[in-house]
């Protein structure tokens, strides 16, 4: 461990001058740490994160929900990459994230330092916490593992851990603040509250080891470092008996464990506290990183296959128009709440019932409180425009009106028309002209019929029925 010149910043610490280094005697690792003093974050960096936090909160709480995908995709390379693999398409949402990807390759954890609102909240909790910070260099990089497992599952359309993205958690909590305050809204806000509690109980644990967005940035930074010159450098280090581990922890103000002997003079990387260890066969770090990544992606694909068999087939539910197949929909949905906020009729709600894999995923329930309509309007496709991950496909109005949410079922014994009374409100209001009336010569009664080829389950007939004998069933 070498002593850094005065004023040289490394890992958020400013090293003092080391008189022993001038005499050629290196001080122990603990002595250097005692001489170091914390420097804190730069004020403009804090101001940038505070501004992003205030802007995102105002946008998500009061702005148009159709702009949510831009925010989510432009700031989270984790959501953009995994959802693009799962959806088998690269669209404008992925392209919006390219600047953040480039910056993450050039500067490790750029997003965490300058723009992550959840990271700012966790940092504030860590500073206020009386608990001592955990030695992150001794903990496994779980965030990276979650990213690779999600990418492997995304190959089968089931990215199991995509919903752990911190920006999705923040979006869900900010959207819950718009109201109305229900049990589902409280559950959506509980995710961010749990991160705050974790930041106090275990400072820096989420940002340093658990966050999949931080793990994505670390993987991007490692890929950016794996050029030809880097591979030759790793081989040179291997010939001297030491090789920087390419799958090590990210910077969080924690130095790696001290080494002994002459090799202890090697200084950790200025962008990552990689643990130095002797390789088994001189394999370059890039090859080992690729091997481990492929292994974790394979495990993720296997978990995705297991999830398909374990979670499906399940009882069908009324999902927003454009929703993916049920198992894939539950995995792709990050529970951000954009579609809930976007629906002008208020018929899209967060689901708290059913199996655990579908908790807080959006479902359609007719009879919303908003005055603009309580059924799926034929002039609206806002939910499909607001989804950042492809769980709800982007549909035009024509495609949306042809999409089948469910099918109207009429309880004929209770229908007024069958009882020979005057009523035809369902026929008049149906925007798809899927309900018709026929007269039976045998019974001399009128009967209503629903054409399954035309009915898309919009719910208009259900809401105007005076005797409530029409229901929309999932198909």
Report pLDDT digits (tens) over 315-341: 788 999 999 888 889 888 988 888 888
Query: Over 50: is that where the pLDDT of 262 sits?
Result: no
Confidence class for position 306, pLDDT limits 50, 70, 90 = confident
According to the model, what pLDDT value does residue 389 have? 84
Among 107, 126, 115, which Cα is nearest to 40's?
126
List pLDDT tens digits, range 1-16. 444 444 444 333 333 4
Measure the CA–CA gap between 392 and 389, rounded to whole angstroms. 8
List pLDDT tens digits, range 353-407. 767 778 889 999 886 554 445 889 999 999 988 888 888 998 999 999 999 999 9
Contacts with 2 (C-beta within 8 Å, 6 or more apart), sequence order: 21, 26, 265, 267
Contacts with 44 (C-beta within 8 Å, 6 or more apart), sequence order: none
**Cβ proximity of 246 and 222 under 8 Å:** yes
The distance from CA 407 to its chain's CA centroid, rounded to whole angstroms, is: 32
According to the model, what pLDDT value does residue 410 have? 92
According to the model, what pLDDT value does residue 433 have? 92
Task: Between 228 and 350, name the one with better pLDDT.
Answer: 350
Task: Between 152 and 445, name the one with better pLDDT.
Answer: 152
Among 401, 390, 395, which Cα is nearest to 333's?
390
According to the model, what pLDDT value does residue 63 have? 61
The DSSP code sequence of 130-192 is -SPPP-GGGS--HHHHHHHHHHHHHTTT--TTGGG-HHHHHHHHHHHTTS---HHHHHHHHHH
**Mean per-residue pLDDT over the chain, rounded:** 75
Confidence (pTM): 0.70
Task: Between 234 and 71, name the one with better pLDDT.
Answer: 71
Query: Over 50: is that where the pLDDT of 268 sits?
Result: no
Among 71, 91, 81, which Cα is nearest to 223's?
81
Measure the CA–CA gap between 475 and 470, rounded to whole angstroms. 15
Domains and CATH numbers, the chain: 43-220+291-311 (no CATH), 326-402 (3.30.70), 407-473 (3.30.70.20)
Among 12, 44, 46, 18, which Cα is nearest to 31's?
18
Among 366, 334, 350, 343, which Cα is nearest to 183's?
350
**Cβ proximity of 152 and 293 under 8 Å:** no
Q: Looking at the chain, how many residues does it have?
A: 475
Which of the residue ranges 19-28, 75-84, 210-219 would you say has the lowest mean pLDDT?
19-28
Q: In what helix (H) or strand (E) does residue 194 lie, and over which residues does it extend? A: helix 183-201
**Cβ proximity of 424 and 446 under 8 Å:** no
Confidence class for position 134, pLDDT limits 50, 70, 90 = confident
List the Cα angle 345/80/352 in 5-degree steps.
40
């Amino acid at each position: 461990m070498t002593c850094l010149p005065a004023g040289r910043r490394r890992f958020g610490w400013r090293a003092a001058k080391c008189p022993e280094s001038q005499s050629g005697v290196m001080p122990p690792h603990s002595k250097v740490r005692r001489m170091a003093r914390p420097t804190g974050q730069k004020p403009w960096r804090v101001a940038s994160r505070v501004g992003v936090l205030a802007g995102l909160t105002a946008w998500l709480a009061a702005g148009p929900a159709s702009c949510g995908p831009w925010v989510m995709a432009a700031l989270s390379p984790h959501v953009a990459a995994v959802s693009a693999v799962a959806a088998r398409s690269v669209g404008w949402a992925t392209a919006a994230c390219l600047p953040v990807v480039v910056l993450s390759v050039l500067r490790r954890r750029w997003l965490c330092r300058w723009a992550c609102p959840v990271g700012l909240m966790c940092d504030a909790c860590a500073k206020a916490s009386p608990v001592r910070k955990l030695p992150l260099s001794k903990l496994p990089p779980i965030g990276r593992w979650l990213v690779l497992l999600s990418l492997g599952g995304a190959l089968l359309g089931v990215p199991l851990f995509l919903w752990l993205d911190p920006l999705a958690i923040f979006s869900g909590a900010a959207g819950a603040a718009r109201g109305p305050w229900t049990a589902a809204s409280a559950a959506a806000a509980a995710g961010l509250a749990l991160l705050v509690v974790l930041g106090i109980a275990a400072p820096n644990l989420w940002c340093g080891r658990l966050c999949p967005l931080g793990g994505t940035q670390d993987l991007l930074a490692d890929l950016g470092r794996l050029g030809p010159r880097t591979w030759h450098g790793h081989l040179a280090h291997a010939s001297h008996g030491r090789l920087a581990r390419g799958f090590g922890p990210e910077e969080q103000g924690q130095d790696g464990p001290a080494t002994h002997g002459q090799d202890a003079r090697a200084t950790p990387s200025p962008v990552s506290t990689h643990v130095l260890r002797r390789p088994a066969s001189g394999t370059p770090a890039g090859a080992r990183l690729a091997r481990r990544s492929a292994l974790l992606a394979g495990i993720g694909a296997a978990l995705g296959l297991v999830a398909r068999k374990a979670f499906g087939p399940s009882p069908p539910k009324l999902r927003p128009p454009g929703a993916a197949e049920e198992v894939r929909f539950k995995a792709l949905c990050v529970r951000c709440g954009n579609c809930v906020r976007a629906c002008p009729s208020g018929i899209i709600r967060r689901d708290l019932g059913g199996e655990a894999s579908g908790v807080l995923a959006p479902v359609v329930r007719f009879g919303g409180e908003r005055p603009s309509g309580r059924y799926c309007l034929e002039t609206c496709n806002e939910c499909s425009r607001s989804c950042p991950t492809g769980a709800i496909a982007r549909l035009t109005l024509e495609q949306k009106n042809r999409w089948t949410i469910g099918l109207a079922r009429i309880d004929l014994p209770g229908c007024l028309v069958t009882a020979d009374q005057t009523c035809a409100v369902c026929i008049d209001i149906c925007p798809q002209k899927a309900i018709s009336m026929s007269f039976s010569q045998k019974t001399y009664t009128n009967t209503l019929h629903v054409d399954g080829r035309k009915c898309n389950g919009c719910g208009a007939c259900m809401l105007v029925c005076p005797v409530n004998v029409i229901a929309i069933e999932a198909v």
